[in-house]
């Protein structure tokens, strides 16, 4: 009988220990719920209330620019792409850390455009640009020769 009681007590203690470990595991509480709500709020802020379209980003180089539009060449899903963006009074354009106008953008400038689609058009919200380095600073076209 004593041989049977020892393993039984050990099994009961082991089972009791598992219940205790489960009780110590934190459940998703109010603080986690608040974090998720804040995250959802941030995502919602990037959605236009009228069109329910999300803010999107395009990266590339300026192909052409006028006072009301910007054409950017870049890549989308590994393929060459070209986007035409509408520039309006609300579009904020920055180049080299300073607020500028569309006239300050030059062909070949690297740009990142945050935009929204409205009525089938890409409406630029912000344009961040950096100038193309002069040719003397540009990387050479030919790769360096490998030494044997």
User: What domains are defined for the chain?
Assistant: 56-130 (2.40.50.320)
Q: What is the pLDDT of residue 78?
A: 85
Report the alpha-carbon distance of residue 115 to residue 107 in Å, rounded: 20
pTM of this prediction? 0.55
pLDDT at 70: 97
Instruction: Tell me: pLDDT of 107 over 70.
Output: yes
pLDDT at residue 8, as a whole number: 62
Position 132 scores a pLDDT of 77
């Amino acid at each position: 009988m004593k041989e049977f009681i020892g393993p039984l007590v050990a099994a009961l203690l082991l089972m009791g220990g598992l219940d205790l470990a489960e009780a110590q595991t934190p459940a998703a509480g109010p603080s986690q719920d608040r974090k998720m709500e804040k995250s959802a709020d941030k995502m919602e802020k990037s959605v236009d209330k009228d069109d329910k379209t999300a803010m999107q980003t395009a990266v590339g180089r300026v192909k052409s620019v006028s006072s009301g539009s910007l054409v950017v060449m870049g890549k989308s899903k590994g393929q060459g792409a070209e986007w035409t963006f509408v520039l309006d009074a609300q579009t904020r354009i920055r180049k080299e850390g300073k607020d500028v106008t569309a006239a300050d953008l030059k062909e070949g400038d690297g740009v990142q455009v945050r935009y929204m689609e409205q009525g089938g058009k890409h409406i630029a919200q912000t344009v961040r640009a950096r100038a193309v380095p002069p040719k003397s600073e540009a990387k050479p076209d030919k790769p360096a020769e490998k030494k044997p």
